[in-house]
Amino acid sequence: MIDLTELVKGVMATDAKERYKLIGRVTTTTYKTAKGFAQTKRFDILKRQSTLALSDVIDDIEFGIPLNLLDVPDGVYELTACNFSRDWETGIIDDWDVTLLPITDYPGNNTIFIRQRH
C-alpha cells in the first residue's frame, strides 16, 4: 500500500501524467439459477490504463466497495477516493470512501471507451 499523503496528492493532481488513477470496466451479468435468477456486478481493473493497484485504494473489501457500484450502467470508470475524514488531533486523513466516475474517452486517444448496449 502506498503512503496515504502521496495517494491524496496524486488523486488531487491536475496534471494527467502526475495523477494516480485506477481505471476499470463495470459489467453486469444476469443468469438463471436452480431457484430463480441472479445478477452480478463486476469492476475489472484495466491495468494498462491504471497507475494504481486495487490494494492502494481499498484495504478492506467489505468496507471498500464503491458507493455507487450498483447504480452505474456498464462501461469504463475511474475508481477514486471521496468523503475524506481527518483525525481531529493530527489532521491526517484516516478514512475515505470510494466512488466510480464515468470515463467517456481516454486522454491522448480518440477512441471512445464506453459502448452502449442496445
> What type of residue sits at position 84?
F
CB atoms within 10 A of CB 103: 20
At 29, is the pLDDT very low, low, confident or very high (cuts 50, 70, 90)? very high
Extents of the domains making up the chain: 4-102
pLDDT value at 76 more than 80: yes
Provide the pLDDT for residue 82: 82
pLDDT value at 62 more than 70: no
CA-based nearest residue to 29, from 19, 37, 17: 37
Q: Which of 3-12, 83-92, 96-105 has the lowest mean pLDDT?
A: 3-12
Provide the pLDDT for residue 97: 82
pTM of the model: 0.67
Beta-ladder partners of 43: 26
Q: Is 36 left (phi over 0), alpha (psi -120 to 50) or beta?
A: left
Could you tell me which residues come within 8 angstroms of residue 17 by beta carbon, excluding any fewer than 6 positions away? none
Provide the pLDDT for residue 114: 44
pLDDT value at 15 more than 70: no
pLDDT value at 83 more than 70: yes
Rg (the chain; Cα; Å): 16
State the average pLDDT over residues 1-11: 55
